[in-house]
């Protein structure tokens, strides 16, 4: 099985990315793995701090180990948006392959200091570290949800050199959640190109990268939900970012949630007499697998990379 470090180099060399799919329960993890197995793709499976407390340390470890054995594909356990040294240390100690320290809401010097502390600890145990510079709206809206602050290319160079982080999450116009753009979508390719010039060898990470498929928005709205005006980044744009730039990891949570919940809503509405949880959950798992297979093959271009 190829290592995570292999993919750090190979993605940039050969123009594809690894999906980083968030999971919150058995079904979302199995759906992600099944999709990856079908497309023969490696992937990150990501756990946010919220997912960490929802599932608990023991379940996360054991679900992940079981998934690796069951699906026999390269999956890498990743901590998503770790906000403190303590949570990153915990993830390293229990065997995560990769951690993100997200100190992007802190002033530059403090972000560097905390990031470096995590890097020093994680590297001793051979765990890779993703850091972030710039602010995305959504989950990071301790700042101001409406004002994206894009990554400064010069500062990115200093940041990476001083902290020794392995990859860098950049802010170029994407945002978290199901409501990404007020008007037309706007990705700042100019900012990205400047970053790539400054740090040509650093693998970059794109957060807030769901495309918010309208079929799922419609499904949710049709079967009792209310997601009026939800929108995301076009798949064609994501494909360009995945293949023509230095991005090596694309984070996707919202689309998994939409596929899962859309499918659950539809199943339950159409089958009012069913109360066996395996039926709606099994259908939702299959919908997640379909979504992941599609993304890997048509957007992230990581089919047959295992």
* Residues labelled as active-site residues: 80
Query: Any idea of the CA torsion for 211, 179, 255, 138, to the nearest 10 degrees?
Result: 110
3-state secondary structure of 293: helix
Q: Which does 51 bind (CB under 5 to 8 A by kind): ligand G3H, ligand 13P, Zn ion, none?
A: ligand G3H
Nearest residue (CB) to ligand 13P, 225 versus 282 = 225
Q: Is 293 in the site for ligand 13P (CB under 6 A)?
A: no
Q: How many helices (H) and strands (E) does the chain have?
A: 12, 8
Whole-number Å distance between alpha carbons of 301 and 210: 16
Q: Give 5: exposed, middle or buried? Use CB within 10 Å, 0-12, 13-18, 19+.
A: exposed
Q: Is 207 in the site for ligand 13P (CB under 6 A)?
A: yes
CB atoms within 10 A of CB 90: 16
Q: Which does 152 bind (CB under 5 to 8 A by kind): ligand 13P, ligand G3H, Zn ion, none?
A: none
Minimum distance from residue 165 beta carbon to ligand 13P (Å): 16
Interaction with ligand 13P in 6-25: which residues (CB under 6 A)? 22
Minimum distance from residue 80 beta carbon to ligand G3H (Å): 5
Q: Is 196 in the site for ligand 13P (CB under 6 A)?
A: no
Minimum distance from residue 268 beta carbon to ligand G3H (Å): 23
In sequence order, what are the beta bridge partners of 20?
A: 44, 251
Q: Is 207 in the site for Zn ion (CB under 5 A)?
A: yes
Residues that bind ligand G3H in the complex, under the rule CB under 6 A: 22, 48, 50-51, 80-81, 139, 176, 253
Minimum distance from residue 124 beta carbon to ligand 13P (Å): 25
Whole-number Å distance between alpha carbons of 280 and 149: 41
The count of residues in the chain is 306
Q: Which does 293 bind (CB under 5 to 8 A by kind): ligand 13P, ligand G3H, Zn ion, none?
A: none
Interaction with Zn ion in 235-254: which residues (CB under 5 A)? 251
Q: Is 78 in the site for Zn ion (CB under 5 A)?
A: no
3-state secondary structure of 249: strand
Nearest Cα neighbor of 196 from 159, 245, 242, 137 is 245
In sequence order, what are the beta bridge partners of 128?
A: 98
| Site mask for ligand 13P (CB under 6 A), range 117-156, x = bound | ----------------------------------------
Q: Is 166 in the site for ligand 13P (CB under 6 A)?
A: no
Nearest Cα neighbor of 32 from 286, 263, 250 is 286
Binding-site ranges for ligand 13P (CB under 6 A): 22, 80-81, 176-177, 207-210, 251-255
């Amino acid at each position: 099985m190829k290592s995570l470090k292999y993919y750090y180099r190979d993605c940039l060399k050969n123009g594809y990315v690894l999906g980083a799919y968030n999971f919150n329960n058995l079904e979302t993890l199995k759906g992600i793995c099944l999709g990856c197995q079908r497309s023969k793709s490696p992937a990150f499976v990501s756990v946010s701090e919220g997912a960490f407390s929802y599932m608990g340390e023991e379940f996360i470890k054991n679900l992940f180990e079981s998934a690796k054995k069951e699906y026999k594909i390269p999956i890498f356990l990743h901590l998503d948006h770790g906000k403190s040294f303590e949570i990153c240390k915990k993830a390293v100690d229990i065997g995560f392959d990769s951690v993100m320290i997200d100190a992007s809401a802190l002033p530059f010097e403090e972000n560097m200091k905390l990031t470096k502390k995590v890097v020093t600890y994680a590297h001793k145990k051979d765990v890779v570290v993703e850091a972030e510079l710039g602010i995305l709206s959504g989950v990071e809206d301790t700042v101001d949800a409406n004002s994206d602050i894009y990554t400064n290319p010069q500062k990115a160079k200093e940041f990476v050199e001083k902290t020794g982080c392995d990859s860098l999450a950049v802010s170029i116009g994407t945002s978290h959640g199901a409501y990404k753009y007020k008007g037309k979508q706007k990705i700042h390719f100019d900012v990205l190109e400047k970053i790539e010039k400054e740090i040509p060898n650093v693998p970059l990470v794109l957060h807030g990268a769901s495309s918010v498929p309208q079929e799922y928005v419609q499904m949710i709205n049709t079967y009792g939900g209310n997601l009026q005006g939800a929108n995301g980044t076009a798949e064609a744009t994501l494909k360009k970012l995945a293949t023509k730039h230095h991005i090596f990891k694309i984070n996707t949570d919202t689309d998994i949630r939409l596929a899962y919940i859309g499918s659950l809503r539809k199943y339950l509405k159409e089958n009012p007499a069913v109360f066996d949880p395996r039926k709606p959950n099994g259908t939702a798992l299959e919908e997640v697998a379909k979504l992941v297979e599609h993304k890997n093959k048509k957007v992230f271009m990581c089919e047959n990379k295992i």
